[in-house]
Amino acid sequence: MAGGVRPLRGLRALCRVLLFLSQFCILSGGEQSQALAQSIKDPGPTRTFTVVPRAAESTEIPPYVMKCPSNGLCSRLPADCIDCTTNFSCIYGKPVTFDCAVKPSVTCVDQDFKSQKNFIINMTCRFCWQLPETDYECTNSTSCMTVSCPRQRYPANCTARDHVHCLGNRTFPKMLYCNWTGGYKWSTALALSITLGGFGADRFYLGQWREGLGKLFSFGGLGIWTLIDVLLIGVGYVGPADGSLYI
C-alpha distances in Å from residue 231, one per residue of 194, 200, 226: 10, 15, 9
Characterize the bridge pairing of strands 108-109 and 72-73: parallel
Q: Report which of residues 168 and 36 the model is more confident about.
A: 168
Alpha-carbon distance of 125 to 138, in angstroms, equals 22
Q: In DSSP terms, which residues pair with 171 in a beta bridge?
A: 159
Which of the residue ranges 19-23, 26-30, 72-76, 240-244 would you say has the lowest mean pLDDT? Answer: 26-30
Given this model, what pLDDT does residue 63 score? 81
Q: Residue 73 — φ and ψ, nearest 5°? A: -70, 135
Angle at which helices 209-217 and 224-234 cross, to 10°: 150
Given this model, what pLDDT does residue 25 score? 58
Residue 10 — pLDDT band, cuts 50, 70, 90?
low
Residue 141 — pLDDT band, cuts 50, 70, 90?
confident
Which residues, 6 or more positions from 179, have their beta carbon under 8 angstroms from its beta carbon?
A: 140, 146, 245
Instruction: Tell me the pTM.
Output: 0.52
Residues 31-61: tens digit of each pLDDT: 554 554 454 455 555 555 455 555 444 567 7
Alpha-carbon distance of 93 to 244, in angstroms, equals 36
Alpha-carbon distance of 57 to 158, in angstroms, equals 37
Q: Where are the domains of the chain?
A: 65-125, 129-177, 183-235
Residues 192-227: tens digit of each pLDDT: 999 998 999 999 999 899 988 999 999 888 889 999
Residue 68 — pLDDT band, cuts 50, 70, 90?
confident
User: Residue 118: which of 85, 151, 156 has the closest Cα?
Assistant: 85
Given this model, what pLDDT does residue 1 score? 46
